[in-house]
Amino acid sequence: MYYCYLATPIGDLLLAGDDQALSLIGFPEGSMRRDPDPDWIYNEEPFTAARKQLLEYFDGQRTEFELPLRLSGTEFQMLVLEELQRIPYGETASYGDIAARIGNPKAVRAVGAANGRNPIPIIVPCHRVIGGGGDLTGFGGGLDTKAALLRLEAESRKFMGAS
């Protein structure tokens, strides 16, 4: 597994994967903070596109990612991760919304757990999932980071002329 770091407005993100696909983004703080495993090899080259697209995202110039991803999880977790990728830039959905969209409206807590295990946050936009009452709830990078990502998207949408 290769890895590198990317300096962003929310701190240094750990990017990891192989020469085919990105498989992990780790936050600098919070429950999704991650250090590279001892056998990982530092190499920025496999992450050229990911680094470029993430920087464009943080600059408000990119609303969708076009990267090969290697997602992992149970069948249920994969359903949730696929649905997360359908939440439009600058918009939010509740855990209940996601549960209903995957055809299991009673699985709100399970959706929350799957959301919390998302190995590729930001690109798979788990930060766009909020509580049923519109409140910000748990996030692997910390609630301040979640708020910053949502604020970035809201401000960029305003700038782009979206309503």
HSE-up of 70 (CA within 13 Å, CB side)?
Answer: 11
Catalytic residue among 50, 87, 123, 126: 126
The partner residues of 42 in beta bridges, in order of sequence, read: 3
Q: Is 4 annotated in the active site?
A: no
The overall longest dimension of the chain from CA atoms, in Å, is: 47
* Token representation of residue 135: 């409140």
Phi, psi of 27 (to 5 degrees): -85, 160
Distance CA 82, CA 46 (A): 24
Q: Which residues are catalytic?
A: 126
